[in-house]
Structure 1
Amino acid sequence: MSGNDIIVSLDIGTSKVRAIIGEVTGGSINIVGVGSADSEGIRKGAIVDIDQTVQSIKSAVDHSERMVGVTISEVFVGIAGNHIQLQSSHGVVAVSNEDREIGGEDIERVLQAAKVIALPPEREIIGIVPKQYIVDGLEGIHDPRGMIGVRLEVEAIVITGAKTAIHNLIRCVEKAELKVAGLILMPLAAGHLALSKDEKNLGTVLVDIGAGATTISIFENGTITATATLPIGGEYVSNDITIGLRTQLEIAEKIKLKYGCASIQDADPSTTFKVTRIGSNVEKEFSQADLASIVEPRMQEIFELIKAEVKRMKPGGELAGGYVLTGGAVSMPAVLSVAQSVLETSVRIASPDFIGVREPAYASGVGVIAYVAKFLRTRSTVSVKTSTGRKAAAANKPSLIERIKNLFSEFI
């Protein structure tokens, strides 16, 4: 692997922390290692205990390292949450070259100009996503490199977040003895992987339903235009099962994963299982249909809340691309049929098409790797163990701090 680029993504979720190692060879990506650990210290997508979160990160990274036989030194960290905000901005610069040919330096300068916005002291810029470039009044340009012009403008979306949430996230990763190669907005990365070019242009809602939080993102005209996070997810279903079957949460989670079905109509009454109830040593038998009668109302409620939030984000506007679902909670059988009946439009479930990660839960983590591979000029982010057991030096990473500061500058 020493001759290829290695990209490591870290997805810190409410139920799982996932470290995914991707190898980029000639433009194509191979997922070579996946590490997963139960997430401790995270509630509803937010860090509530630094030490527990650090231990979860270490466990996930250690798991992925053992799979591949490498030592990870740097990771690209996915970030999401209700503190994320998107803000439209505009930047203008004069083309600096004498021959008036627009180069990478001009694009960098115009993006920096677009970042000059008024921000409250508690907020910080995470990145910037260009919507279009304008050269001497000509609009609709996606890559102005090599064009001749005097005046270069950009219409962009500036991604901002709460300083507290950003710094706590970086602190957890650094305490786990890892360097943060960059923060990547999760919905942006997942959208790059899960949505087609037409879906992003027509207008599509990307919904990531995790354990403790649901992230809703709207893509239009080729880029992300709005994002919101609801504090609901799969753990609400587990809590309902705990109450309905009167059992422990840990047992309820296992039952949900093994026998869960989101629709009573699709559940099998002949599939049965036994549950040890709280306050008793006696096991009681339930059917999959009994379980579905608990799960279905909660899943319907989750999709009703998603529908209401999309109406708030996009008042009066119907999106032609419909809904695309990702996240661990959508893996349950019959979720798609419940979503279609509630949302009343086209709905599909998106999963990464790589061996070992063909599940909706991996869409964000693998999306970060795909996003970095395409839009950021990558370099090796691991040091590979040699045959003698000593670590070989990682590839040179010039001006890393500058690259982190301008993470989204190479979007085009």
Structure 2
Amino acid sequence: MKSGIYASLDIGTTSIKVIAAEVLNGQINVIGVGNERSNGLSRGMIVDIDQTAVSIQQAVRQAEDKADIKINELIVGIPANNLHINSCYGSISINQNHQEITDEDVQSVVEKAIEGSLNQEREVLNLTLEEFVVDGFDEIKDPRGMIGNRIEFRGTMTSIPRSILHNIRKAVQKAGFGIKNIILQPHAMAQVSLSEDERNFGALLVDMGGGQTSVAVLHENQVKHAQVIPEGGEYVTKDISIVLNTSIKNAEKLKRDVGHAFYEEANPERSVSVEVVGQNDLVTFKEAYIAEVIEARLEQIFEQLKFSVDHVGAGKLPAGMVISGGAASLPGIEHLAEDVFNVPVRIYVPDFMSVRYPAFTNAIGLVVAETNLSDIERLINQTVLGKTLNLQAKNSVRPVVRENQEQDEQTEEITQPSSQPNEEKEPFGDKVKNFFSGFFE
């Protein structure tokens, strides 16, 4: 891991998360956390740049206050919406004979690979190196310092619609911050939730956010396929609100306090009293009734994800499935996923001080992904970043964070985790399942 202080930004539909972390001697210490309610987003996409920028500012300010540092640049996570994954190739001739290959030569051949593989409506997100070829000698991972007349680059390129990247970049810049790197969220999630062997042999990653849910296929340490469903934890809340005829606020509290994702494991005896619109008295509902509402929505989401991975022949991978994200906190969700996908499923919870919640997986994963880059990968990423965002050369980029001007030495504070009524008797069954069918068409 490359030592230093890093700050990551995870822009979600329901919340924006910022993590400031110090990396030293291969260890990551979270020194500041920001978590702000999202404004300006819908279904994981920015719909109001100004409001999103304000939310980013507030989340960053929280992390700055806790870490006692000033954040200038952010490692930004990008969702896998409408992701394209393609092979790419580029080659250049080196003018002088017996000239050592330099950083500039690597950057030139990478730029050639981008130009030959990208259309005008999309932006390259990152390039994954497969090999360099120098004068016909292949399987080279870092050609710098070698002598050759011709250098070739072979790799995998991921790209997203230009509008998605533009809106995220604009919101970050409008908030007053630079962009150190752009990293695909499934790739970041894989760095912390999967072992190296699991990333190589293959696994399914499911990220359950508030406004959308994504599935990614990992194999040979690369994201091979990704699909995003524009439904997430917010939709579960809305379903509870509709069926129980209660407010969104009450529905969210019910989901968090007594919600269960797998009906068969819900307690059929326990009840909860709920404020219902148009009723003076509280109305009592069985917790199992609420669980069936939750299961109905989540099952539909999982069925859509399963169709996507089955379509590309990735339904059965050796490492099974890992689920994380805010909605992964619902009890029983791994058992429902196992029931739908018929593969081993586990929940990933980050094991870092102050962020031991599934909702912070992407934010901490961005830091891990950035620090794990090799020198050649960092050079390739910097070339892509400069090409995509029109940034200056690497040497002119500001540091991620600067020390507090009032202190001679950086503070190494580590934050700590914060510490009568009528009963619904009508069977839920197929009636409510049919009621929901209109939502999923």
Normalised to the residue count of structure 2, the TM-score between the two structures is: 0.80
The aligned counterpart of 2:414 is none
Superposition pairs for residues 294-309 of structure 1, below 5 Å? Answer: 294-309=293-308
The aligned counterpart of 1:57 is 56
The aligned counterpart of 1:205 is 204
- Is the alpha carbon distance of 1:140 and 1:252 closer, same or farther for their aligned partners in structure 2, counting shifts above 3 Å? farther
Distance 1:320 1:150 in 2: 43
The aligned counterpart of 2:131 is 132
Among 365, 368, 373, the residue aligned to 1:367: 365
- Is the alpha carbon distance of 1:87 and 1:284 closer, same or farther for their aligned partners in structure 2, counting shifts above 3 Å? same
- Is the alpha carbon distance of 1:143 and 1:121 closer, same or farther for their aligned partners in structure 2, counting shifts above 3 Å? closer
Superposition pairs for residues 143-154 of structure 1, below 5 Å? Answer: 143-144=142-143, 151-154=150-153
- Is the alpha carbon distance of 1:135 and 1:370 closer, same or farther for their aligned partners in structure 2, counting shifts above 3 Å? same
Normalised to the residue count of structure 1, the TM-score between the two structures is: 0.85
* 1:382 has 2:380 as partner: no
Distance 1:97 1:371 in 2: 37
The aligned counterpart of 2:30 is 31
The aligned counterpart of 1:405 is none
Distance 2:66 2:270 in 1: 36
Secondary structure of 1:180's aligned partner: strand
The aligned counterpart of 2:172 is 173
Secondary structure of 1:14's aligned partner: coil
Q: Is the 8 A contact 1:46 1:81 kept in 2?
A: no
Q: Is the 8 A contact 1:5 1:379 kept in 2?
A: no
Q: Is the 8 A contact 1:6 1:379 kept in 2?
A: no
Identity %: 36
* 1:194 has 2:193 as partner: yes
- Is the alpha carbon distance of 1:275 and 1:93 closer, same or farther for their aligned partners in structure 2, counting shifts above 3 Å? same
Superposition pairs for residues 77-156 of structure 1, below 5 Å? Answer: 77-94=76-93, 104-135=103-134, 137=136, 139-144=138-143, 151-156=150-155
- For structure 2, the 5+ residue unaligned runs are 380-396, 411-441
Distance 1:19 1:48 in 2: 20
The aligned counterpart of 2:213 is 214
Secondary structure of 1:319's aligned partner: coil
Among 318, 328, 331, the residue aligned to 2:329: 331
The aligned counterpart of 1:75 is 74
The aligned counterpart of 1:321 is 319
Letter aligned with residue 370 of structure 1: V
Deviates further, 149-158 or 235-244: 149-158
Q: Is the 8 A contact 2:34 2:61 kept in 1?
A: yes
- Is the alpha carbon distance of 1:310 and 1:194 closer, same or farther for their aligned partners in structure 2, counting shifts above 3 Å? same
Letter aligned with residue 225 of structure 1: K
Root-mean-square deviation (CA, aligned residues, Å) is 2.7
Superposition pairs for residues 172-321 of structure 1, below 5 Å? Answer: 172-312=171-311, 314-315=312-313, 318-321=316-319
Letter aligned with residue 51 of structure 2: Q
- Is the alpha carbon distance of 1:321 and 1:96 closer, same or farther for their aligned partners in structure 2, counting shifts above 3 Å? farther
Deviation per residue, 1:146-186 (Å, 9 max, x gap) = 66766543321222222222111111112212222222211
Deviates further, 315-324 or 26-35: 315-324
- Is the alpha carbon distance of 1:142 and 1:223 closer, same or farther for their aligned partners in structure 2, counting shifts above 3 Å? farther
Distance 2:36 2:280 in 1: 31
Deviates further, 326-335 or 285-294: 285-294
Letter aligned with residue 8 of structure 1: A
Distance 1:359 1:94 in 2: 50
Letter aligned with residue 283 of structure 1: L
Structure showing greater radius of gyration is 2
